[in-house]
Structure 1
Amino acid sequence: MTDFAATKAQFHLPDGMIYLDGNSLGPLPKTAPAVVDAMMKQQWGDMLIGGWNKAGWMAQPTALGDQVARLIGAEAGHVTLGDTLSIKVVQALAAGLRLQPDRKVILTDNGNFPSDIYMAQGLIEALDQDYELCIVDPAEVAARIGPDVAVVLLTQVDYRTGAMHNMQSLTQTAHQSGALVIWDLAHSAGALDLDVSACNADFAVGCTYKYLNGGPGAPAFIYVAPRHIGQVEPMLSGWLGHAAPFDFAPDYRPGNGIERMRVGTPPVIQMASLAAALEIWKDVDLAQLRQASIDLSEQFIDLVEENCPMLRLVSPRNAAHRGSQVSFSFSEGYAAIQALIDRGVVGDFRAPNIMRFGITPLFIDADDITQACAIMADVMNNRLWDLPEYKVKSAVT
């Protein structure tokens, strides 16, 4: 039985703040500063370059990848970490296209995170092989999958509304048509009870700074199914994806297994922070986490709709179709979020009018939801958001 009071106690949460933005950047694990400090002083400081061998820096991407694998239902030895999520999207997409040489369509939806779409567009231009990016409404994905589709590229949970694709059903539909599927788990890992292996996913990518609490800039991950890993030819054939990087051979030869999906030097300091965060997850039952998320989300929706009638729910009402976030639309959503932040309730804004709130049971409980909703009612019903300073947009919204 997961003790969520105990997990909450393991995070630094500023006094008076109710943090409903863990879906964008997770809070600081209390142990992370000491872990990072020890890494910097005792490893980097004392070992210097010897840390690559003595402290195991070179093995970190796959060692931590195995810990992430447990959280997404992946086979051990098939997840590695490093680089950014956008880089991992390119790796997976290019690899998938090479496995499908007779097909030219990449299928995605307009609920996908824009960066995934941008990277697909850039890859198509770089390859210059008549690939086509087909973008449809989320509800139309299954019907559009056909014999021309090489790869389906989807973010499982819509970053704006929290609407959730059915991974198992869509993967099965794609495979029936001979297409491969890449799942972006940026808003899923650490929020849902995932099983990419049972769903027969081909590839999965994701970040570790949201629900996994690895810190800003924490490394991304990539999963390749066992049936594909021996055939995958990385387009980004980086030095550390080489079978023998310290042979310094002039030609690339892909590494064994998931090692071939590595690109550049591991971000060792960031991985130390992530390692501290992943320790918390060792005591978390993901099915219980998911149920707690649903319970808190239902409480949040009920209280907001009861007390803030000017806000319109844009997340799916059915919890089975919703990730671990709740979003409402409001014409002055940006200003309203700023007013809430000023009063200690931290959510965020997504254009054009979405007020977005992450429901993260590791550090949010029922009392937090009650207090947050009371503050929201005050802000909305008394128009406390209607001040000029709340309408000046910052660079990051």
Structure 2
Amino acid sequence: MTPADLDAADPLAHCGTRFWLPAGKIYLDGNSLGALPAATPARLRLVAEEQWGADLIGSWNAHGWIDWPKRVAAKLAPIVGAEPDELIIADSTSVCLFKALGAALALEPERRTIVARTAEFPTDLYVAEGLARLLPGVGLRSVDGPLHEQKLDGTVAAVLASHVDYRSGERVDLVRLNEAAHAAGALSVIDLSHSAGAIAVVLNGSGCDLAVGCGYKFLNGGPGAPAFLYVARHLQERLRSPIQGWMGHARPFDFAADYAPAPGIDRFLSGTPSILALAALECGLDTFDGVAIEDVEAKGRRLAEVFIAEVTARTGIDLGWQADRGRRGSHVVVPHPQGYAVMQALIARGVIGDFRPPDLMRFGFAPLYNSFADVVAAAEALGEILASGEWNQPRFLTRQKVT
């Protein structure tokens, strides 16, 4: 089938109108920052002008601002396979991860070890290392190979893993990982940043204990969008957040001198929620209205398959190691010794992906707005750039601060 045939048969093709995308660009970087939902600018103006501007502080009650962290979380719940009362929108991914790991470490004080892959997302390791320096006796054990194959003992408090590897795109088997953690008496802490909104996540069905993720990638919440934190219902009353703030208090407006954690997931709130950011994130989640996340994943798989086949045919680069659809997220990486320069040449042509050291060009497929014509055109541009040596120019070879 041609790209036009595939797009004509695409049941999600209509979702593209839910986004604003600049003409002349093919955007394949939704795994870093999702595209702008068409509804977001008007929603931000409404919240700023008609709510904040007109009703001032009364908006907390008049417009229900105080409940937005839970209301927005309820829209996320079916996307990540959780119940609404198991999720909260708050903070950044790093802060939510600090809360999750800190709570896991405090549950059983004799357990003082966090286990993670050596190749884990660097920021997640930074957070774990920071906790290890802060808390007496806590250590981070970095391991190679699948986490479910590691020997976990009674010292392990938490097994930390990204659901989808940020470089290779490889997907972790959540069921096997959670089973291994539980067999050792440990808790699983999963980072969904590169999977939520692109592949079907089943937090409850796979036995996850805690999870975090960002709102600005496949969830289309905007740059710096709030993160989310998941705590399985059966653990909520046993865990306490290490960051105790007034919004996580059982009676936040009593301004009591002593801290009493709120019941349920609310205890993982801390500071005042960012209302404008929550409004933007809600617009991002609304782009999934009427769409089954299983259909999103199915289209993402097909987009990747078409891209892999086209790149292989046009460049000769072997991407077969990414062909196992059940073990891949929603991005594909193309290795090249001059990957940074090649990506800059692609961006100059209007094909936007990104680069991760040492040599990986990443192409992310956001099924709600990417088309089959997009991925074929991107592969064609890549083939032309590699064949012509177009990338070998000073303006493409010079590294920028942000890529």
**TM-score, length basis structure 1:** 0.97
CA RMSD, 1 decimal: 1.4
CA distance in 2, matches of 1:3, 1:280: 15
Q: Does 1:337 align with 2:343?
A: yes
Out of 67, 87, 90, the residue aligned to residue 82 of structure 1 is 90
CA distance in 1, matches of 2:402, 2:233: 39
In structure 2, the partner of 1:169 is 176
User: What secondary structure is seen at the aligned counterpart in 2 of 1:205?
Assistant: strand
CA distance in 2, matches of 1:131, 1:288: 42
CA distance in 1, matches of 2:73, 2:149: 31
Q: Does 1:107 align with 2:115?
A: yes
In structure 2, the partner of 1:388 is 394
In structure 2, the partner of 1:49 is 57
CA distance in 2, matches of 1:21, 1:312: 22
Out of 26, 36, 40, the residue aligned to residue 44 of structure 2 is 36
**Contact between 2:226 and 2:278, CA under 8 Å: does it hold in 1?**
yes
Distance 1:71 1:157, change over 3 A: same
CA distance in 2, matches of 1:143, 1:72: 26
CA distance in 2, matches of 1:355, 1:345: 12
- Pairwise CA distance, 1:328: 1.4
Distance 1:252 1:140, change over 3 A: closer
**Contact between 1:66 and 1:78, CA under 8 Å: does it hold in 2?**
no
- Pairwise CA distance, 1:76: 1.9
**Contact between 1:159 and 1:187, CA under 8 Å: does it hold in 2?**
yes
In structure 1, the partner of 2:81 is 73
Q: Does 1:225 align with 2:232?
A: yes
- Deviation per residue, 1:314-338 (Å, 9 max, x gap): 8633111110000011111110100
User: What secondary structure is seen at the aligned counterpart in 1 of 2:140?
Assistant: strand
CA distance in 2, matches of 1:114, 1:370: 32
CA distance in 2, matches of 1:109, 1:187: 16
Alignment of 1:167-316 (within 5 A): 167-309=174-316, 311-313=317-319, 316=322
In structure 2, the partner of 1:10 is 18
CA distance in 2, matches of 1:2, 1:372: 19
**Contact between 1:107 and 1:135, CA under 8 Å: does it hold in 2?**
yes
Out of 13, 21, 27, the residue aligned to residue 29 of structure 2 is 21
- Deviation per residue, 1:57-84 (Å, 9 max, x gap): 1100011111111110111211001110
Q: Can you give the 5+ residue segments of structure 1 that lack an aligned partner in the other structure? A: none
**Contact between 1:80 and 1:223, CA under 8 Å: does it hold in 2?**
yes
**TM-score, length basis structure 2:** 0.95
User: What secondary structure is seen at the aligned counterpart in 1 of 2:200?
Assistant: coil
**Contact between 1:337 and 1:348, CA under 8 Å: does it hold in 2?**
yes
Distance 1:52 1:314, change over 3 A: farther
Question: What residue identity is the alignment partner of 1:7?
Answer: C
**Contact between 1:161 and 1:314, CA under 8 Å: does it hold in 2?**
no
Question: What residue identity is the alignment partner of 2:141?
Answer: C
Q: Can you give the 5+ residue segments of structure 2 that lack an aligned partner in the other structure? A: 1-8
Compare 34-43 and 367-376 and name the one that shifted more.
367-376
